């Protein structure tokens, strides 16, 4: 065995251990958050494929003899067919913006935007998996059901970092007519978001756009001569009086939110803005409700 292979092995193990250390807290936190949401009935309230009994109906022409419920039919003269409730599982694809801009926090006491997004995504996944849905990560993990998928998602999310300054929605691996959740600050190029949404809409995917912002980004509490840089340092802007820019910055931010909401409405998606300063629970509830359909 060569020395290089040994090093690589050791490196891998160290990384795996670090990952393992990071995993349980994120998962535990997400599960704790998910536990606050009560799961309701999950059936589709119509006959279909499923395990649960739905109703008996008289047998029609064309029903195969194998489908007749003989026990029920024996109690009367007619033949009955036992129908089951349709319990088709949804495929939900999550996309959490892995870009550097998500690592921003305006205050040391607040979690970074990315952490909040991952937490929300994982909690949502926990909820959905418990409901029997299949959950996947766009471009990283195909939608599957089950507890093992939960661990897989947690591992993928923890490692998800990207060198880009601003992220673009990933639509790869999205199941047609499934659901999708995009978690990002959407401060980057809006055309990329538009394109991503269009691709998703083409496949008949419905879903949720959740914009996650830091309160500092909402308030712009800066003054004086300042050079603003993006998190990766690729974009740079210098001003002499940062305080004077506040109003115009806020106007631009509002405009962007409007645009996002309009885009979402156009493709039948839901859009909301969540601030890292607020509790994650309300955002989770909203996202879960929005995924259920309805609203």
Partner 1 sequence: MFMIGPVGFAVPWLLAGLIALPILWLLLRAVPPAPIRRRFPGVALLLGLKDDENEADKTPWWLLLLRMLAVAAAIVGFAGPVLNPDVRVAAGGPLLVLVDGSWADARDWPRRMDRAAALVDEAGREGRTVAVVRLSDAPTEVEFQTADVWAGRVAGLQPQPWAPAGLAEWAGNLPQGGFESVWLSDGLAHDGREGLLAELSARGPVRVIESPRPVLALHPATFEDGAVAVAVSRLPAADAVSVDVVARGPDPAGIERELARAVLPFGAGEARAEATLNLPPELRNRITRFEIEGVRSAGAVSLTDDSLKRRKVAIIGAGPDQEALQLLSPTHYLRQALEPVAELVDGSLTDVLLANPDVVILADVARLTQAETDATLDWLEKGGLLLRFAGPRLAASDVSRMTEDPLMPVRLREGGRTVGGAMSWGEPKALAPFVEGSPFFGLPTPSDVTVKAQVLAQPDPELSQRTIAALEDGTPLVTRKVVGDGQVVLVHVTANAEWSTLPLSGLFVSMLERLAVSTRPATPEAADLAGQVWVPEVVLDAYGQLSDAGEVAGVEGADLAAAIASGPAAAFPPGLYAGPDRRVALNVIGAETELRAAEWPAGTVIEGLEGQTAQSLKAGFLSGALGLLLLDILAALWVAGRLSGLGRRAAVLAVAVMVGSLAPQARAQEAGPDDDFALRATTEVVLAHVLTGNAEVDGLAEAGLRGLGDRLWERTTIEPALPVGVDLERDELAFFPFLYWPVVAGQAAPSAAAYDKLNDYLRTGGMILFDTRDADVAGFGGTTPEGQALQTIAAGLDIPPLEQIPGDHVLTRTFYLLQEFPGRHAQGSLWVEAAPAAAEEAADGMPFRNLNDGVTPVVIGGNDWAAAWATDDMGAPLLPVGRGFAGERQREMSYRFGINLIMHVLTGNYKSDQVHVPALLERLGQ
Reduced to 3 states (helix: H, G, I; strand: E, B; else coil), residue 178 is: coil
Q: Does 238 participate in binding partner 1 (rule CB under 8 A)?
A: yes
18 vs 190 by CB, closer to partner 1: 190
Tell me whether residue 9 or residue 241 sits nearer to partner 1 (CB atom): 241
Q: Is 104 in the site for partner 1 (CB under 8 A)?
A: yes
Q: Which is closer to partner 1, CB of 120 or CB of 187? A: 187
Q: How many chain residues touch partner 1 (CB under 8 A)?
A: 38
Instruction: For residue 206, count other CB atoms closer than 10 A to its CB.
Output: 18
Count of Cβ atoms closer than 10 Å to residue 98 Cβ: 22
Interface pattern 50-89 for partner 1 (x via CB under 8 A): ----------------------------------------
* Cα 51 from Cα 85, distance rounded (Å): 7
Shortest spacing between CB 198 and partner 1, in angstroms: 21
The stretch among 24-32, 139-147, 239-247, 265-273 that binds partner 1 (CB under 8 A) is 239-247
Please state, in angstroms and rounded to a whole number, the distance separating the CA atoms of residues 273 and 90. Answer: 25
The residue within the footprint of partner 1, chosen from 201, 231, 267, 285 (CB under 8 A), is 231
Query: What are the backbone angles phi and psi of residue 125, rounded to the nearest 5°?
Result: -65, -40
Element (H, E) at 236: strand 236-239
- Contact window for partner 1 (CB under 8 A) among 2-10, 66-74, 129-137, 184-192: 184-192
Distance in angstroms (rounded) separating the CA atoms of residues 232 and 164: 7
**Residue 221 · residue 249 · CB < 8 Å:** no
Which of 242, 264, 280, 291 is in the footprint of partner 1 by CB under 8 A?
Answer: 242
Which is nearer to partner 1, 233 or 279 (by Cβ)?
233
E strand or H helix that includes residue 137: strand 134-137
For partner 1, the closer of residues 133 and 217 by Cβ is: 217
Spatial distance between the Cα atoms of 267 and 265, rounded to a whole number of angstroms: 5
* 277 is a site residue for partner 1 (CB under 8 A): no
Fill in the per-residue mask, 187 to 226: x = in contact with partner 1 (CB under 8 A), - = not in contact.
Answer: xx-------------------------x-xx--x-xxxxx
The smaller minimum CB distance to partner 1, of residues 73 and 230, is found at 230
DSSP 68: B
d(CA 190, CA 178): 23
Q: How far is the CB of 280 from partner 1 (least distance, A)?
A: 20
120 sits in which H/E element? helix 113-130
Q: What is the DSSP letter of 118?
A: H
Rounded Cα gap, residues 3 and 30, in angstroms: 40
> What's the closest the beta carbon of residue 177 comes to partner 1, in angstroms?
33
From the list 37, 30, 42, 33, the residue with the least C-alpha distance to 292 is: 42
CB of 155 to partner 1, least distance (A): 26
Spatial distance between the Cα atoms of 7 and 251, rounded to a whole number of angstroms: 53
Q: In this complex, which beta carbon is closest to partner 1, that of residue 44 or of residue 246? A: 246
> Which residues form the interface with partner 1 (CB under 8 A)?
101-102, 104, 113, 166, 185, 187-188, 214, 216-217, 220, 222-231, 235-245, 248-249, 252-253, 256
């Amino acid at each position: 065995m060569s020395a290089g292979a040994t090093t690589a092995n050791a490196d891998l193990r160290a990384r795996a251990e670090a990952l393992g250390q990071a995993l349980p807290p994120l998962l535990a936190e997400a599960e704790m958050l998910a536990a606050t949401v009560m799961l309701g009935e999950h059936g589709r309230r119509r006959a279909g494929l499923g395990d649960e009994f739905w109703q008996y109906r008289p047998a029609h022409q064309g029903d195969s003899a194998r489908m007749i419920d003989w026990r029920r039919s024996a109690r009367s003269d007619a033949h009955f067919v036992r129908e089951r409730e349709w319990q088709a599982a949804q495929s939900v694809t999550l996309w959490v913006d892995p870009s550097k801009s998500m690592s921003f926090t305006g205050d040391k006491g607040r979690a970074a935007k990315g952490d909040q997004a991952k937490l929300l995504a994982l909690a949502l996944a926990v909820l959905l998996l418990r409901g029997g849905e299949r959950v996947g990560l766009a471009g990283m993990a195909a939608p599957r059901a089950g507890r093992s998928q939960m661990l897989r998602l947690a591992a993928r999310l923890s490692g998800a970092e990207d060198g880009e300054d601003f992220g673009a929605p990933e639509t790869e691996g999205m199941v047609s007519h499934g659901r999708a959740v995009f978690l990002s600050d959407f401060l980057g190029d809006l055309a990329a978001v538009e394109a991503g949404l269009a691709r998703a809409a083409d496949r008949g995917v419905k879903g949720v756009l959740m914009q996650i912002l830091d309160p500092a980004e909402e308030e712009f509490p800066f003054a004086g001569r300042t050079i603003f840089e993006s998190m990766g340092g690729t974009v740079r802007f210098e001003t002499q009086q940062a305080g004077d820019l506040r109003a115009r910055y806020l106007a631009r931010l509002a405009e962007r939110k409007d645009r996002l909401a309009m885009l979402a409405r156009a493709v039948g998606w839901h859009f909301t803005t969540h601030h890292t300063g607020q509790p994650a629970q309300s955002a989770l509830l909203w996202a879960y409700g929005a995924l259920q359909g309805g609203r």
